[in-house]
Amino acid sequence: MCGIIGYTGTKNNAKEVLLSGLKKLEYRGYDSAGIAVYENEKINLYKSTGKIKNLEESLSKNTSTLNLGIGHTRWATHGVPNETNAHPHKCGNVTLVHNGIIENYLELKQDLILKGTEFKTQTDTEVACAYINEIYKTEKNKIKCIAQSCKNFRGSYAFAIIFDDEPDTIYAVRKDSPLVIGVGASDENFISSDISAILNYTNRYILLEHEEFAKISKDSIEIFNSNLEKIEKEILTATWSSSEYQKSGFDHFMLKEINEQPKVLKQVFERYFSNNTYDQNIDISNYDNIHIVACGSAMHAGLVGKFLFEKYALIPVTVEVASEYRYKNQLITNNTLVIIISQSGETADTLAALRIAKQKGAHTLGIVNAVGSTISRESDITIYTHAGPEIAVATTKGYASQVAVLSTLALNTAIKKGLIDKTFEEHIYNDFKNIQNTISDVIKNYEEEYKKVSEYIYKHDHLFYIGRGIDNAVCLEGSLKLKEISYMHSEAYAAGELKHGTISLIEQGTPLIAVATDEILFEKTVSNVKETKARGSFVVFITTRDLEDKYIKSVEDTSGFFDIKLVLPSATDFTQALVTMVALQLIAYKTAILRDCDIDQPRNLAKSVTVE
């Protein structure tokens, strides 16, 4: 969750590199931030609470040119977000920053207290720092000292560590939490949680693997495996540029990323057309069942995939949040495919679920955005969504690209099983080919409708979404978007489930967003909407042009069951969820604007969840 940055070199000023990197990493945490730099022959710490700009302001009078430093932006786990608990932490000769959780920190803390260590913070990270410092008293080989310490840490970690007596070197190690080493052109090197943080300086990097150690100076990089043997690592080149991390004239990254969806989806479908399995040797039609495992929005994308696989490919699918899946009896057989979905490819619970599935003999397919991420490397087969960098915490194009990949996989499987006739197949292909224009239409041509909806709902603290079938899956994601960025309490329910308890919460004026894009289920959903309308709900009814023509315009007594009607382009099931979701994203965005919320960095949330 937290972000790490480090610099050693003479080409640039360490303070400027650290602040620049922390701004890029702020999506990983913004409770507090800090840097440790070597200046005036000692390591000095600078910290502040809140956003990176607060740290930047506190450092504005510091004009020193510095050659080494580490920085951190925090998403609090242990200890409240304050300056004391902010990273970096310093204990004796050791200063470090940390992403992850040391689960046995209380046990280690008690041992250290008995040895005379005094603690200033509530964090598990200070305990790790003190523990390494204690080991360093007797083990002066720094790599061995860090390795010996890590053997006694339970949990996940990425550490960047500097020592008082070696002011030109950064040491690093990772277990589960991500860390990359940036390779500078000359006289400088970097470390970061994410290559995006250092793209202004280099696009060459080394992926530090699970339980590998690194020693980084301005002119050398040494990597050691878990046995502390020196190893050679491939230097990779990032295929994207720092310009992709700019707002490009948009007010927010989220709005920019919503507007990037037409192009992203077009590219997903073009890759499918060029090779029906994205150049991967996989035939899903041979599996008896599929488990889709993910977290948050990725899990909601999985629910859309479940609908498509079961309806069209006739393969039973279970969709579970990774944090539950990893602790249950997974019931994996020799013919189970486990699909792992993660935008970052580093999500802690999802990664753990992947490893369990592989241990139990399942074939694994990763759907991932981040090239070279841990999940992409450990999955048997990986399909990249290639959605590009997504900076806003609330995912939009990341989710859309996952749904698009699942749609093509379900279609390809159904075709291989002979379950799709040629006429319908061509209809689906036309939807794929026209997706850029269709989604652009939804973004650009419904401004007044989105404004009208948001101007009503933003005044309320509670809201319901309802739908049936694939619409229910989309409602879950729409509700999450609204919660994430507007802080409204919203819940999504299968429309027919409302009367089994939840309808008791409907009162005069309660906002209800109803989605009805499935013709088979349309009249059932309308009946459920009328039940809420009879109890005073304010209904936003979302449907398609085809269904409006057939069921609303032609029937006089249906007009009174909604207050606002939003009629979207019609599509097949394989793209309709994408069309509907973009509308729900924009409703959430405009509502959050009216509620004056921090849209790109909503409170308490971070982009990449790398701790359990």
- Rounded distance between C-alpha atoms, residue 182 and residue 27, angstroms: 20
- 458 and 375 in a single domain? The answer is no
Q: Is the distance from CB of 10 to CB of 67 less than 8 angstroms?
A: yes
CA distances from 336 to 52, 225, 312, 587 (A): 46, 33, 18, 38
According to the model, what pLDDT value does residue 41 have?
85
Q: Give 149's Cβ-side CA count (13 Å radius).
A: 33
- Are both 238 and 251 inside the same structural domain? no
- With CA atoms as reference, report the closest residue to 608 among 254, 349, 239, 338: 349
Same-domain pairing of 374 and 488? no
Question: Residue 347 is part of which domain span?
Answer: 246-442
Mean pLDDT of 104-109: 94
Would you place residue 569 in the very low, low, confident or very high pLDDT band (cuts 50, 70, 90)? Answer: very high
Same domain, 286 and 217: no
Shared domain for 96 and 238, answered yes or no, is yes
The answer to whether residues 388 and 461 belong to one domain is no
Mean pLDDT of 57-86: 81
Query: Is pLDDT of 605 > 80?
Result: no
Quick one: pLDDT at residue 601?
A: 86
Indicate the residue among 393, 416, 442 that finishes a domain: 442
Q: What is the CATH number of the domain that holds 63?
A: 3.60.20.10
145 is catalytic: no
What do you get for the CA distance between the two ends of the chain, in Å? Answer: 10
We report the CATH number of the domain holding residue 454 as 3.40.50.10490
- Do 81 and 192 sit in the same domain of this protein? yes
Judge if 458 and 550 occupy the same domain.
Answer: yes
Look at strands 511-515 and 462-467 and give their pairing. Answer: parallel
Instruction: Specify the pLDDT at position 565.
Output: 94
Give catalytic status of residue 129 as yes or no: no
The domain boundary residue, chosen from 395, 422, 442: 442
Q: Are residues 261 and 122 in the same domain?
A: no
Q: How many CB atoms lie within 10 A of CB 314?
A: 12
Same-domain check for residues 179 and 227: yes
Q: Which residues contact 240 (CB under 8 A, 6 or more apart)?
A: 199, 388, 389
Boundary-marking domain end, from 207, 227, 244 = 244
One of 109, 175, 256, 607 is an active-site residue; which one?
Answer: 607
Q: Decide if pLDDT at 182 tops 70.
A: yes
pLDDT band at 130 (very low <50, low <70, confident <90, very high): very high
Write down the pLDDT at residue 192: 94
Q: What is the domain count for the chain?
A: 3
Residue 163 main-chain phi, psi, to 5 deg: -115, 145
Residue of 2, 129, 145, 597 marked catalytic: 2
Quickly count: other Cβ atoms within 10 Å of residue 259's Cβ.
Answer: 19
> What is the model's pLDDT at position 558?
53
Residues 413 and 284 in one domain: yes
Rounded Cα distance, 607 and 73, in Å: 12
Q: Put residue 161 in one of left, alpha, beta given phi > 0 → left and psi -120 to 50 → alpha.
A: beta
Q: Please write the tens of the pLDDT for every residue from 345-402.
A: 888 899 999 999 999 999 999 999 988 888 999 999 999 999 988 989 999 999 999 9
Least confident of 354-363, 544-553, 591-600, 603-612: 603-612
User: pLDDT value at position 611?
Assistant: 56
**Residues 247-286: tens digit of each pLDDT:** 889 999 999 999 999 999 999 999 998 876 676 778 899 9
Average pLDDT over residues 567-588: 97
Looking at every residue in the chain, the average pLDDT score rounds to: 91
Instruction: Let me know whether 468 and 579 are in one domain.
Output: yes
Per-residue pLDDT, 81 = 72
pLDDT exceeds cutoff 70 at 609: no
* Distance of alpha carbon 612 from alpha carbon 594, whole angstroms: 33
